[in-house]
Amino acid sequence: PSANRARQRACVAMSDDPLFDARNHFHLGHYQTAINEAMGASVGTDALRIERDVLMYRAYLEQGNFAIVMSEVQDSAPPALRAVKLLCQYKQSDDAGRQAVVASLQELLAGANAANNVPLAVTAAAIFCLEKDYKEALKCTHQGQSLEAQAMVTHIYAAMNRADLAEKQVAIMQRSDDDATLTQLASATAMIAKGGGKYQDALYIYQDMSEKYGPSPFLLNNLATCCMLLGKYEDAESHLQEALGKNPSDPTTLANMVVCLQHLKKGADVVTRYITQLRTAAPSHPWVEAYGATERTFDRCAAQLSR
Protein backbone atom coordinates (compact mmCIF):
# COMPACT_ATOMS: atom_id res chain seq x y z
CA PRO A 1 0.00 0.00 0.00
CA SER A 2 2.79 2.47 0.86
CA ALA A 3 4.48 1.74 -2.48
CA ASN A 4 1.18 2.44 -4.27
CA ARG A 5 0.81 5.73 -2.41
CA ALA A 6 4.35 6.68 -3.40
CA ARG A 7 3.60 5.97 -7.06
CA GLN A 8 0.36 7.95 -6.86
CA ARG A 9 2.15 10.93 -5.31
CA ALA A 10 4.85 10.75 -7.98
CA CYS A 11 2.25 10.71 -10.76
CA VAL A 12 0.51 13.75 -9.28
CA ALA A 13 3.81 15.56 -8.88
CA MET A 14 4.82 14.79 -12.46
CA SER A 15 1.50 16.05 -13.82
CA ASP A 16 1.79 19.30 -11.83
CA ASP A 17 5.50 19.87 -12.33
CA PRO A 18 7.03 19.65 -15.83
CA LEU A 19 10.51 19.61 -14.25
CA PHE A 20 9.82 16.75 -11.85
CA ASP A 21 11.88 14.16 -13.76
CA ALA A 22 14.77 16.56 -14.46
CA ARG A 23 14.90 17.60 -10.81
CA ASN A 24 14.66 14.02 -9.57
CA HIS A 25 17.51 12.79 -11.78
CA PHE A 26 19.65 15.77 -10.82
CA HIS A 27 19.34 15.03 -7.11
CA LEU A 28 20.14 11.35 -7.74
CA GLY A 29 23.33 12.27 -9.60
CA HIS A 30 22.10 11.18 -13.04
CA TYR A 31 23.25 14.43 -14.57
CA GLN A 32 23.08 13.62 -18.28
CA THR A 33 19.55 12.28 -17.88
CA ALA A 34 18.65 15.44 -15.95
CA ILE A 35 20.01 17.55 -18.82
CA ASN A 36 18.04 15.55 -21.37
CA GLU A 37 14.82 15.81 -19.34
CA ALA A 38 15.31 19.54 -18.78
CA MET A 39 15.89 20.19 -22.48
CA GLY A 40 12.75 18.25 -23.35
CA ALA A 41 10.51 19.73 -20.67
CA SER A 42 7.54 21.83 -21.72
CA VAL A 43 7.73 24.97 -19.61
CA GLY A 44 5.22 27.76 -20.05
CA THR A 45 6.38 30.50 -17.70
CA ASP A 46 9.52 32.57 -17.27
CA ALA A 47 9.97 31.22 -13.74
CA LEU A 48 9.91 27.62 -14.98
CA ARG A 49 12.26 28.43 -17.85
CA ILE A 50 14.77 29.91 -15.41
CA GLU A 51 14.45 26.93 -13.09
CA ARG A 52 14.91 24.55 -16.05
CA ASP A 53 18.06 26.37 -17.11
CA VAL A 54 19.41 26.40 -13.54
CA LEU A 55 18.90 22.64 -13.32
CA MET A 56 20.50 22.07 -16.71
CA TYR A 57 23.56 24.23 -16.07
CA ARG A 58 24.06 22.87 -12.56
CA ALA A 59 24.01 19.39 -14.08
CA TYR A 60 26.65 20.45 -16.63
CA LEU A 61 28.65 21.87 -13.73
CA GLU A 62 28.47 18.59 -11.82
CA GLN A 63 29.75 16.83 -14.94
CA GLY A 64 32.75 19.16 -14.96
CA ASN A 65 31.61 20.90 -18.14
CA PHE A 66 32.64 24.34 -16.88
CA ALA A 67 33.19 25.79 -20.36
CA ILE A 68 29.52 25.33 -21.30
CA VAL A 69 28.34 27.21 -18.23
CA MET A 70 30.87 30.01 -18.63
CA SER A 71 30.15 30.56 -22.34
CA GLU A 72 26.36 30.23 -22.33
CA VAL A 73 25.34 32.04 -19.13
CA GLN A 74 25.57 35.74 -19.88
CA ASP A 75 26.23 38.49 -17.37
CA SER A 76 22.77 39.85 -18.19
CA ALA A 77 21.08 36.55 -17.27
CA PRO A 78 18.57 36.33 -14.38
CA PRO A 79 20.15 36.26 -10.88
CA ALA A 80 19.61 32.51 -10.35
CA LEU A 81 21.57 31.72 -13.52
CA ARG A 82 24.31 34.19 -12.64
CA ALA A 83 24.62 32.39 -9.30
CA VAL A 84 25.28 29.13 -11.19
CA LYS A 85 27.99 30.90 -13.18
CA LEU A 86 29.49 32.17 -9.91
CA LEU A 87 29.48 28.60 -8.57
CA CYS A 88 31.32 27.56 -11.72
CA GLN A 89 33.87 30.34 -11.26
CA TYR A 90 34.31 29.44 -7.59
CA LYS A 91 35.16 25.84 -8.43
CA GLN A 92 37.92 26.98 -10.79
CA SER A 93 39.40 29.82 -8.71
CA ASP A 94 42.23 30.33 -6.26
CA ASP A 95 41.64 31.97 -2.86
CA ALA A 96 41.54 35.50 -4.26
CA GLY A 97 39.16 34.46 -7.02
CA ARG A 98 36.87 32.73 -4.54
CA GLN A 99 36.63 35.85 -2.42
CA ALA A 100 35.71 37.85 -5.51
CA VAL A 101 32.98 35.30 -6.25
CA VAL A 102 31.59 35.61 -2.72
CA ALA A 103 31.53 39.42 -3.03
CA SER A 104 29.62 39.17 -6.32
CA LEU A 105 27.23 36.68 -4.76
CA GLN A 106 26.47 39.05 -1.89
CA GLU A 107 25.54 41.68 -4.46
CA LEU A 108 23.13 39.25 -6.12
CA LEU A 109 21.55 38.38 -2.79
CA ALA A 110 21.05 42.07 -2.00
CA GLY A 111 18.89 42.50 -5.09
CA ALA A 112 15.13 42.88 -5.15
CA ASN A 113 13.11 39.67 -4.58
CA ALA A 114 16.26 37.64 -3.90
CA ALA A 115 14.76 36.29 -0.66
CA ASN A 116 11.91 34.64 -2.63
CA ASN A 117 14.13 33.21 -5.38
CA VAL A 118 14.53 29.52 -4.46
CA PRO A 119 16.99 28.52 -7.25
CA LEU A 120 19.16 31.53 -6.35
CA ALA A 121 19.00 30.75 -2.61
CA VAL A 122 19.93 27.08 -3.02
CA THR A 123 22.83 27.81 -5.37
CA ALA A 124 24.08 30.60 -3.12
CA ALA A 125 23.94 28.23 -0.14
CA ALA A 126 26.01 25.70 -2.11
CA ILE A 127 28.73 28.33 -2.62
CA PHE A 128 28.70 29.31 1.06
CA CYS A 129 28.97 25.63 2.01
CA LEU A 130 32.11 25.34 -0.11
CA GLU A 131 33.38 28.36 1.83
CA LYS A 132 32.40 26.58 5.07
CA ASP A 133 30.42 29.72 5.90
CA TYR A 134 27.42 27.83 7.21
CA LYS A 135 25.86 30.87 8.87
CA GLU A 136 25.50 32.60 5.50
CA ALA A 137 24.32 29.36 3.88
CA LEU A 138 21.55 29.04 6.46
CA LYS A 139 20.54 32.68 5.97
CA CYS A 140 19.83 31.81 2.33
CA THR A 141 17.68 28.75 2.94
CA HIS A 142 16.43 28.37 6.53
CA GLN A 143 13.03 29.93 5.76
CA GLY A 144 12.55 28.10 2.49
CA GLN A 145 9.40 26.02 2.07
CA SER A 146 10.55 23.97 -0.92
CA LEU A 147 12.05 20.51 -0.49
CA GLU A 148 15.22 21.75 -2.24
CA ALA A 149 15.74 24.47 0.35
CA GLN A 150 14.90 22.14 3.23
CA ALA A 151 17.27 19.46 1.95
CA MET A 152 20.03 22.08 1.74
CA VAL A 153 19.32 23.07 5.36
CA THR A 154 19.68 19.40 6.35
CA HIS A 155 23.03 19.23 4.54
CA ILE A 156 24.21 22.40 6.27
CA TYR A 157 23.28 21.11 9.74
CA ALA A 158 25.08 17.83 9.00
CA ALA A 159 28.18 19.75 7.90
CA MET A 160 28.00 21.70 11.18
CA ASN A 161 27.91 18.40 13.12
CA ARG A 162 24.42 19.25 14.36
CA ALA A 163 22.77 15.88 13.78
CA ASP A 164 19.96 16.87 16.15
CA LEU A 165 18.96 19.83 13.98
CA ALA A 166 19.39 17.78 10.80
CA GLU A 167 16.95 15.20 12.17
CA LYS A 168 14.41 17.93 13.01
CA GLN A 169 14.68 19.32 9.50
CA VAL A 170 14.12 15.85 8.01
CA ALA A 171 11.01 15.46 10.19
CA ILE A 172 9.63 18.65 8.62
CA MET A 173 10.32 17.27 5.14
CA GLN A 174 8.69 13.96 6.02
CA ARG A 175 5.49 15.73 7.07
CA SER A 176 5.50 17.46 3.69
CA ASP A 177 6.34 14.44 1.48
CA ASP A 178 7.81 11.37 3.13
CA ASP A 179 8.27 9.49 -0.16
CA ALA A 180 10.05 12.23 -2.12
CA THR A 181 13.54 11.41 -3.34
CA LEU A 182 14.93 14.53 -1.66
CA THR A 183 13.34 13.56 1.64
CA GLN A 184 14.87 10.09 1.45
CA LEU A 185 18.30 11.47 0.58
CA ALA A 186 18.10 14.10 3.33
CA SER A 187 17.13 11.37 5.79
CA ALA A 188 20.24 9.40 4.84
CA THR A 189 22.38 12.53 5.30
CA ALA A 190 20.97 13.01 8.80
CA MET A 191 21.55 9.34 9.62
CA ILE A 192 25.21 9.53 8.64
CA ALA A 193 25.56 12.69 10.73
CA LYS A 194 24.06 10.90 13.73
CA GLY A 195 26.33 7.88 13.29
CA GLY A 196 26.34 4.62 15.20
CA GLY A 197 23.60 2.22 14.18
CA LYS A 198 22.22 4.74 11.69
CA TYR A 199 24.98 4.02 9.15
CA GLN A 200 23.26 0.79 8.14
CA ASP A 201 19.90 2.56 7.76
CA ALA A 202 21.52 5.13 5.47
CA LEU A 203 23.09 2.32 3.45
CA TYR A 204 19.63 0.80 2.90
CA ILE A 205 18.31 4.12 1.56
CA TYR A 206 21.14 4.48 -0.97
CA GLN A 207 20.72 0.83 -1.99
CA ASP A 208 17.00 1.40 -2.52
CA MET A 209 17.61 4.53 -4.59
CA SER A 210 20.20 2.68 -6.70
CA GLU A 211 17.82 -0.21 -7.33
CA LYS A 212 14.93 2.10 -8.26
CA TYR A 213 16.75 4.58 -10.46
CA GLY A 214 20.09 2.95 -11.28
CA PRO A 215 23.46 3.57 -9.62
CA SER A 216 25.06 6.94 -10.29
CA PRO A 217 28.53 8.02 -9.13
CA PHE A 218 26.76 10.11 -6.48
CA LEU A 219 24.79 7.14 -5.10
CA LEU A 220 27.77 4.81 -5.40
CA ASN A 221 29.99 7.22 -3.46
CA ASN A 222 27.42 7.44 -0.71
CA LEU A 223 27.16 3.65 -0.63
CA ALA A 224 30.95 3.50 -0.36
CA THR A 225 30.94 6.07 2.43
CA CYS A 226 28.43 4.05 4.42
CA CYS A 227 30.44 0.87 3.85
CA MET A 228 33.65 2.54 5.06
CA LEU A 229 31.87 3.87 8.15
CA LEU A 230 30.73 0.30 8.81
CA GLY A 231 34.28 -1.02 8.29
CA LYS A 232 33.35 -2.80 5.04
CA TYR A 233 36.26 -1.48 2.99
CA GLU A 234 36.23 -4.20 0.32
CA ASP A 235 32.55 -3.48 -0.40
CA ALA A 236 33.39 0.23 -0.50
CA GLU A 237 36.17 -0.39 -3.02
CA SER A 238 33.75 -2.32 -5.22
CA HIS A 239 31.26 0.58 -5.24
CA LEU A 240 34.04 3.06 -6.00
CA GLN A 241 35.37 0.94 -8.87
CA GLU A 242 31.87 0.92 -10.34
CA ALA A 243 31.67 4.70 -9.93
CA LEU A 244 35.02 5.13 -11.71
CA GLY A 245 33.68 3.00 -14.52
CA LYS A 246 30.96 5.61 -15.01
CA ASN A 247 33.23 8.64 -14.57
CA PRO A 248 36.99 7.95 -14.35
CA SER A 249 37.84 11.55 -13.39
CA ASP A 250 35.18 12.21 -10.75
CA PRO A 251 37.04 13.99 -7.90
CA THR A 252 34.79 12.66 -5.11
CA THR A 253 35.27 9.09 -6.26
CA LEU A 254 39.04 9.51 -6.54
CA ALA A 255 39.30 11.07 -3.07
CA ASN A 256 37.19 8.32 -1.53
CA MET A 257 39.25 5.69 -3.34
CA VAL A 258 42.48 7.08 -1.84
CA VAL A 259 41.02 6.84 1.66
CA CYS A 260 39.54 3.39 1.07
CA LEU A 261 42.76 1.90 -0.35
CA GLN A 262 44.77 3.22 2.58
CA HIS A 263 42.42 1.40 4.95
CA LEU A 264 42.86 -1.73 2.85
CA LYS A 265 46.66 -1.24 3.14
CA LYS A 266 47.10 -1.34 -0.63
CA GLY A 267 50.54 -0.56 -2.06
CA ALA A 268 51.82 3.00 -1.97
CA ASP A 269 52.23 2.99 -5.76
CA VAL A 270 48.52 2.26 -6.22
CA VAL A 271 47.45 4.95 -3.77
CA THR A 272 49.85 7.48 -5.31
CA ARG A 273 48.39 6.79 -8.75
CA TYR A 274 44.92 7.81 -7.56
CA ILE A 275 46.33 10.87 -5.80
CA THR A 276 47.97 11.92 -9.07
CA GLN A 277 44.68 11.43 -10.92
CA LEU A 278 42.84 13.50 -8.32
CA ARG A 279 45.38 16.32 -8.48
CA THR A 280 45.09 16.38 -12.26
CA ALA A 281 41.28 16.23 -12.30
CA ALA A 282 40.66 18.75 -9.51
CA PRO A 283 43.74 20.67 -8.36
CA SER A 284 41.62 22.89 -6.07
CA HIS A 285 39.67 20.02 -4.48
CA PRO A 286 39.58 20.37 -0.66
CA TRP A 287 41.29 16.99 -0.19
CA VAL A 288 44.08 17.97 -2.60
CA GLU A 289 44.61 21.30 -0.85
CA ALA A 290 44.67 19.66 2.60
CA TYR A 291 47.10 17.01 1.36
CA GLY A 292 49.33 19.65 -0.19
CA ALA A 293 49.34 21.65 3.06
CA THR A 294 50.35 18.51 4.99
CA GLU A 295 53.16 17.81 2.50
CA ARG A 296 54.49 21.35 2.88
CA THR A 297 54.38 21.10 6.68
CA PHE A 298 56.24 17.80 6.56
CA ASP A 299 58.88 19.22 4.22
CA ARG A 300 59.45 22.21 6.54
CA CYS A 301 59.84 19.94 9.57
CA ALA A 302 62.16 17.60 7.68
CA ALA A 303 64.31 20.55 6.56
CA GLN A 304 64.59 21.82 10.14
CA LEU A 305 65.56 18.40 11.48
CA SER A 306 68.22 17.93 8.78
CA ARG A 307 70.11 21.08 9.75
31-68 pLDDT, tens digit per residue, is 999 999 999 999 989 999 999 999 999 999 999 999 99
The yes-or-no verdict on residue 1 having pLDDT over 80 is no
pLDDT of 76: 95
What confidence score (pLDDT) does residue 13 get? 52
Q: Computed over its alpha carbons, how large is the radius of gyration of the chain?
A: 20
Q: What pLDDT does residue 5 have?
A: 53
Residue 300 has pLDDT above 90, yes or no: no
pLDDT-above-70 percentage for the chain: 95
The mean pLDDT value for 105-119 works out to 91
Q: Rounded CA gap, 235 and 260, in Å?
A: 10
At 4, the pLDDT band (50, 70, 90 cuts) reads: low
pLDDT tens-place string over residues 120-173: 999 999 999 999 999 999 999 998 899 999 999 999 999 999 999 999 999 999
Q: What integer is the mean pLDDT of 12-28?
A: 85
- Look at residue 9 and tell me whether its pLDDT is greater than 70: no
Q: How confident is the model at residue 15 (pLDDT cuts 50, 70, 90)?
A: low
What was the pLDDT predicted at 65? Answer: 94
% of residues, the chain, pLDDT over 90: 81
Provide the pLDDT confidence category of residue 291 given band limits of 50, 70 and 90. Answer: confident
pTM of the model as a whole: 0.90
Predicted confidence (pLDDT) per residue in 171-206, tens digit: 999 999 999 999 999 999 999 999 988 999 999 999
Q: Across all residues in the chain, what is the average pLDDT?
A: 93
Task: With beta carbons less than 8 A apart as the criterion, state whether 93 and 132 touch.
Answer: no
